[in-house]
Structure 1
Amino acid sequence: MTTRKYKELVEQRTRQTLQTWSAQEFVSEKDIYRFLHNLKGTAGTVGLIKVEKLVDSTLLYFSEDIHRCWPEEEWGDYLYPLLELFGDDMDAHDGLLGSRSQESGHIHGMPIQQEILIIDDDVELVAFLRESLEKQSYYVSIALSAERGLKIFYEGKPDLILLDVLLPDQSGIDVLKQIIGKAKKERIPIIIVSGEHAKDIQMYAYSLGVMDYMPKPLDIDLFLVLIKNRFDLKREWQESIIVDELTGAFNRRYFNQTMKQLVSDFRRTGRIFSLALMDLDFFKLVNDTYGHLIGDEVLQTFSEVVRHSIRVEDTFCRFGGEEFALFMPNTDAGSALLVVDRIQQQLAARTFTAKKEEFQVTFSGGITEVREVVNEPDRLIGEADQALYVSKNTGRNRTTLYTDKLDTGKAESLLNVIVVDDDALIRRIVTHHFASWDPAGIDSVKVSSYASGPLFLESDWYAQGGKYIILLDGIMPELDGLEVLERIRSNYPEVNILVIMLTGRNNQRDIIHALQMGADDYVVKPFHLPELLTRIERLAHRFLF
């Protein structure tokens, strides 16, 4: 999409907003201020220089904190002159994004390494930033509200966050206060991107711990260089740190180093070791019921129990999320089982308190022992994981030793992909590509399609416990995509159902509504199928597996 296209979208939104307001008796000053605030940042970023300058001067007459209602004959004097400037600005600097895409070296379908979360309710600016960043091979998640941003942050753990100060449901500064502690521990840089330029707000944001404060409108060239710089710095952090700061356990990088050293030592000297994988039971339920701060407390307490129960020569690592690993050198599997059983008893005896309730937490474990016929790291991890699964599948709060005859009873992981689109060609192309899709960690994919919303909703598509990705066309006869989305979110549990809207380039209002109503992502038609597959696989593994 060229810069001109984004300018046209900004003009379209401006005209639609003023037309809507003209039918109202009054418009609140807060609404006018927020509209101008967003328009200033977006207009300057996409090259509407004259519009941005007039908005900047007009903002001086309005405040978010004043409770006043303006009739059209008053607000119109300030806002209608904006419409005359769009034509003057429309051709300036056109083609910026097109030239950038040639310079970026981006190849369709390349794996995306870093994930950026944008929390901002200005959909035109967000779309512009998303396209610019994804041309640099970043993966971009979008949240148009604080609530959605917090959900993605806690469930997806992005690598970097771009946060606006003004959001529709709460202040960006309040969001910052909620996430800054965890973001620091997880080494997630936060950059404020806002039209609020007040020095005291910038100083306060920096005092809370943001890495950068970038004023709108953005210089996109400087912005992209800054993002790369921050990711380079983060990579240096990650390479120099071996301890998980939240729990005090060693991290995954140190786990890999330890595994390599112990396997090498076994091959050279024959000294055995055992590996235990331990996974907290129903940990997601703890987070959902009591909040992520209590979840962090549980993780810290578990780590404390383990570290006080093991020897100096043992190595305790956070393997990922709520899963941990314990290396026990010079220890056979039977002796390792005694150690893990003791840890289970100690953790189960701990009592946690939240929301005036008391609860206990347990974990399940799986143990394997290195031996002559199996001394490769991946096979050892796989054996411990199989034994762990048996513990989960047979009641939890227990530990299983791996044996060659172990029956995991593990059910096949099935992902249901459903295409709802009235375009027969789109359905045929998409289902054909997904039929041969082989995503990592998923045993099989079942693809189905429907020509309309009613056909889909009236089918027996849903089964309790199933995992679904629904590709939903925004505009269809009989029942449009937004109505179908509303019924999905109203009648079915949100967990394990991802909805991705397929939208035309001009349907920016539909994009806003869809994200606000619970869509997890959107893809603009026409789309490139390898990129669509990459995006869907990333979403599937973040939310479903």
Structure 2
Amino acid sequence: MKTEKYIQLIQQRIIQTIDEWTSQTVVEEQEIHRFFHNLKGTSGTLGLVEIEKFSESKEHLFAEKSDKTFSRTEWSEHLFPLKSMITPVQAKVELLNHSNVNDVYLKTSQDSLNDHKRVLVIDDDVEFVTYVKEVLEKSDYQVSIALTAERGLKLFYQWKPCLLLLDIVLPDQSGMEVLLQIVEKAKLEHIPIMMVSGNFTVENQINAYRSGAMDFLAKPFDVDLLTALIDNRFMMKMDWDRSITLDELTGAFNRKHFNHVIKQQIDAFNHKKDLFSLVMLDLDYFKHVNDEYGHLKGDEVLQAFAATAREATAGKGIFCRYGGEEFALILPHLDSIGAASVVDKLRKPFNSIKFQAGEETFQVTFSSGIAQLAENNSQPEKWIEQADHALYSAKRAGRNQTIVYSTDMQEKKSEALLNLVVVDDDPLIRDILISRFSDWRPTTHTKVNAFGFEDGKTFLSSEWYRDGEKYIILLDGSMPELDGLDVLRELRESYPEQQLLIVMLTARNQKEDIIQALEIGADDYVVKPFHMQELMLRIERLASRMMND
């Protein structure tokens, strides 16, 4: 697809480059290489075959990285033949005469910042990027341009694009160097990276793919192919984003989405002082359901609760699975009284559900705590802590009820008990830790109850857990019969996450083992042998994180 506007831009660029270099004493070899490299890709994309072939033949004559210089006589014999390949430009292109070409292309209105189809193009070929920008914007993409690596990195972190088009050759550093700086963040946020280059070699392809790029396109390329590929990558990203915000079992939003929404609501409160309430909900005696009827039946209960909650709260709030059998409901525009009314509409239909397990039927109830957002709790941790505090007040008061947070609950925090459990098959380690922590008085608790178990199987089968109490569990990674990772998995599946902080004590110092433990749900790990002072400091920090002490 030829566009007269961009053909004129290429013509203008050739003339402008020749004029600029004519006024210089010498020109560096790498500048000449970059000129032909960019001209090859852009002219080929626009269908200017003669210029493309000429530029390709000249590009290989000059080194990509070289401080060698060429005089006017030396470089002119390579550039002047281009004049015969272009037609005179009748009008100057205002775009190229602008004092700051980066700012010309960066039109980031508030609407575009809110748009999910944001493409960042990092490429110093002005004609090429301008052409790509126009093509993509016709397909409703919001496009920002960076002509240097420095500008591109700044836009990547500030503008937060959803897809990146990155050239390998840039004036200040290579595109591969840029890729290595951003690839981890791009993976974390599921941002596809597409490398482009006029230097289409197998080595460049391998380096790009191994460094984290999703695609590698050779200049010139068909713009329809580019648009189709970007459409495909955006659909893939939407699927990724959708899958990572939903809890697979219940269909509720997951913890990650909850954390994101909580921050959004607090920002909205700080700007507009809108009403918001947070409800934390927890199924009563859920461990008994799993133990008595099995985990499959427990999953059925969780799914039924989530389905009932979504129906009862449709259009009123954001329903999330917080962890295990605990859920969260964020209710915009409602104070604590209005939030309690919403929860009451959920209680009756869920409590009336009769679950079937063989010949037996059973019913499940839930407890909930509410905290209204205000000036004194407008931080995520504080807001969640207050709702959680109210929830466990409801549990201590007999369950199957809703309690709204009040300041007098905070005064009772010092009465709480912290249980420290050591699960380790080494009797010496176990005795040392129990003895040391029995005399410990953390700043956030008045009393610590330290006890231990010789293996994971004995631990899980015991009556160690009591609703409403907090636990820090020191868990050996390698034990007979039941591996520490299996115990960790069972703890995260069967108990409220906010009630347990788990530290793995492991002789496995391999990165893969540590990553696996953290992925399953360990809060920290300590590699054996360890220093007791270091362990005490870590446990002190963990204790300070505990909510509703």
TM-score, scaled to structure 2: 0.46
Rg: which structure is higher? 2
Answer 1 or 2: higher relative contact order, Cα 8 Å, separation at least 6: 1
TM-score normalised to structure 1 length = 0.46
